[in-house]
Amino acid sequence: MDRKGASTKGARVYIPVLSAVLLFVFLLSFSIGRYGVPIWQVVKILIDAIIPDFIGKLTQTWTSEMAIVVINIRLPRVLMACLVGCCLSAAGAAYQGIFKNPMASPDILGASSGAAFGAALAILLGASSQGITFLAFCFSLVTVLLVLLIAKRAPGMRTVNLILAGIMISSLFSAGTSCIKLVADPTNQLPAITFWLMGSLSGVKLSDLFTAFLPMAIGLMPLLLLSWQINLLTLGDDEARALGVNINLVRLIVILSATLITASSISTAGMIGWVGLVIPHLCRKLVGGNYRVLMPSSMIAGAAFLLVTDNISRCLLTSEIPIGILTAFIGAPFFIYLITRKEKAL
């Protein structure tokens, strides 16, 4: 089947199926937990919160405790899991297309290392949770800007320079994070830094959701609008240039957009790896390599995947498992599969 045929099939079959799976997992996430809420009550509570007059004529069948759990506790966490999974998966798909590298992931330009350093520094300075998020976000962007500056000044292939500069800057900021952990208070600060580096969605509030949504939306829109040009970039620079694509401008916009959503996700949820590597590859197996279908499919599947993983992290044991640990348990075997199979990943 050619690319057009695979894309048509993917748009007509897989995207609706993935959307249905996401909707089911979304509703189920409100229902499960240490305080169980029947799924039909969840639907009524959500409808009542969005359209109060719609269900006002019906008898209220849920308790106030159910409403508090669903709206105040689980709603921010469920929505944030969807946003973070969507953004990390979209960023991974974008990086893999731009760099024509199946091993590319959202932290390829050092955004994760920069965010980790910023969060560790904020914790060391005794900043609030908002301060931790802000510094993580700022250092994540600063890291990528440094990588872009170094790659621009270095001779040779621009794509290779970006990857090498990303590795170098990541190492520097990882060393900085290690230094902060070395001098941090082992009683309070060091455990807080370690837990943040593991990644978690516990304690997410609606205010965090509102803060993260704007940069995420700003970063996701160009990736969707430029998906057809990413298709051309995967063919090679010469072919894309011959077809009228401004490859430098498109590559810069895609890199900045993917970095913005990566920084927003990591600064809010901590270090969550592998999502941007695993999900785009799985979606590529389903819908093919056309980014006009692959990009939205990756967003939907990434949201569903991280939502399922977060449900496991908070329900599997009596104490919550950091979500970054679970994604690593899934991602590492998949990485082994990628490097040992014979056919091309892209």
DSSP 73: I
DSSP 33: S
Which pairs with CB-CB distance under 8 Å and at least 24 residues apart come from 295-298? Answer: 295/90, 295/93, 295/94, 295/223, 295/224, 295/227, 295/230, 296/15, 296/224, 297/10, 297/14, 297/15, 297/18, 298/89, 298/90, 298/92, 298/93
pLDDT per residue of the chain (346 residues) written in tens, 0 to 9: 445 545 556 567 888 999 999 999 999 999 998 888 888 888 888 888 887 766 555 567 788 888 899 998 999 999 999 999 999 999 999 999 988 877 788 888 888 899 999 999 999 999 888 898 899 999 999 998 999 899 888 887 777 888 889 889 999 999 999 999 999 999 989 999 999 999 989 888 888 888 899 999 999 999 999 998 998 888 877 888 888 888 889 998 999 999 899 999 998 898 898 899 889 988 988 888 899 999 999 999 999 999 999 999 988 887 888 998 999 887 778 767 766 765 544 4
DSSP 248: H
Q: Does domain 3-340 have CATH number 1.10.3470.10?
A: yes
DSSP 309: H
Annotated domain spans of the chain: 3-340
Distance CA 20, CA 37 (A): 21
Element (H, E) at 36: none
Q: What is the pTM of this model?
A: 0.89
